[in-house]
Amino acid sequence: LMQLFRPLDMLGWVYRSIRQGLIDMGEMFRLMDSDIEVEDAPGAPALVVRQPTIAFENVVFGYDEERTVLHGLSFEVPAGHRVAIVGPSGAGKSTIARLLFRFYDPQSGRILIDGQDIAQVTQDSLRSHIGIVPQDSVLFNDTLRYNIAYGREQSSDAQVEAAARDAAILPFIEHLPLGFETPVGERGLKLSGGEKQRVAIARTLLKDPPIVILDEATSALDTRTERDILKTLRRVSEDRTTLSIAHRLSTIADADRILVLEQGRLVESGTHGQLLSQDGLYAAMWMQQLADDDLNEDDETGDRQQ
C-alpha cells in the first residue's frame, strides 16, 4: 500500500477536492485513507448528462486482492428514480457509493452514467454531476453562509437563503444573533447531527446536481426530527436520480425500487410491497426493525446529538 502512496499527488488531489467542494464527504469516504489510484484517462472527455441514468454492469470490486467485496453486481437506476440499497452491515452499500463517485475503479465490469463509462470521463465532470448528502457532514471552520455556498461561492444571498429554507434550516439560522455569519465547526457553534445534515442538504440544493447519493441513516435522531429530515431529503431527490444508502428501512419504504445486498451480492430486488411478500431477507429485516422500534417507542431524546 505504501508504495502506491505519493504524498505530492495526494496533496494536489486533496487540494483540488477541497476546491471542488468534495471535502464534506471526508468523513464518509475517509479521503485520506483511500489509495490515490484513480486517474483520468489521457484525453478523457467530460461527462455529458442528458438522461441521468446509472447502470452497474457486472461490477467486481475488492479493496485488496485478498477479499472481493462486490461479486459481479448489476443494476440500473432509471432517470429520476430513487433506488435504495439495503443490507446487513458490511454488505457493500457504501462501497457502491464510493465506486459511483469513482474513488476506486472496479476490478472488472463497468459503471455507466447516461451510457458513458465513468472510468473514461474526467473525474471533475463526473463529480460535478453528483451531490452527496452524508449522514454526518464535516463542516468547515467558517460561517454558515460559507458552509452552505461552498463550491458555489458566486451564489447570491437570496439563493443561499432559498436553499436554507428548502433544507428546513432557515428558522434555526434566523434565530442566531449572527445569522448566516455565525461561525460553525470545531471552533464555532456546534451543530447537531440533524442540523449538519441540513447544511449538507442546503449545499446540495444549491449545487443542483442531476444525481444524488443520500446516506439515509437517521437512527441517531428522534422520530419527529427523523420525519422532518426525511421530508427535506425527499426534496433533494425530487426530479433527480437518487441512490439511497439506507440503514433504517422505514426511510426507504417509498423508494421506486429497493436492492437488497448481502455479502456483495444482490439477493433481492423490488418495491417494499413486493419484497415483503417474497418473505426473504428484506421481510426479515423489516420485522426485526419493527420489533426494535417498539422497544424504542418512548425514546424521544431530542435533536441535539453532537
What residues make contact with ligand ATP under the rule CB under 6 A?
33, 63, 69, 87, 89-95, 247
Q: How far is the CB of 147 from ligand ATP (least distance, A)?
A: 25
User: What is the chain's Cα-based Rg?
Assistant: 19
Q: Which residues of 168-177 are buried (b: 16+ CB within 10 A; e: fewer)?
A: bbbebbeeee
Nearest-approach distance from CB 35 to ligand ATP, in angstroms: 9
d(CA 247, CA 233): 15
In contact, 204 and 237? CB cutoff 8 Å: no
Name which of 4 and 158 has its Cβ closer to ligand ATP. 4
CB nearer to ligand ATP: pick between 31 and 173: 31
Residue 133: φ, ψ to 5°: -115, 95
Single out the residue of 207, 18, 57, 241 nearest to residue 131, CA to CA: 207
Minimum CB distance to ligand ATP, residue 84 (Å) = 13
Shortest distance, position 30 Cβ to ligand ATP, whole Å: 6
Query: To the nearest whole angstrom, how small is the minimum distance from the Cβ of residue 27 to ligand ATP?
Result: 12
**Least distance from ligand ATP to the Cβ atom of residue 212, Å:** 17
Measured CA to CA, the distance from residue 271 to residue 108 in angstroms comes to 29
C-alpha dihedral, 111 to 115 to 21 to 60, nearest 10° = 0
For helices 223-237 and 193-207, what crossing angle results, to 10°?
A: 10
Residue among 49 and 96 whose Cβ is closer to ligand ATP: 96
Residue 149 identity (one-letter amino acid):
A
Closer residue to ligand ATP (CB): 3 or 89: 89
* Closer of 132 and 173 to ligand ATP (Cβ): 132
Crossing angle of the two packed helices 193-207 and 157-166, in degrees rounded to 10: 130
The phi, psi pair for 132, rounded to 5°, reads -125, 130
SS3 of 239, please?
coil
Closer of 95 and 237 to ligand ATP (Cβ): 95
- Least distance from C-beta 163 to ligand ATP, angstroms? 28
Nearer to ligand ATP, 206 or 255 (CB): 255
Give the residue among 208, 153, 146, 207 at the shortest CA–CA distance from 179.
146
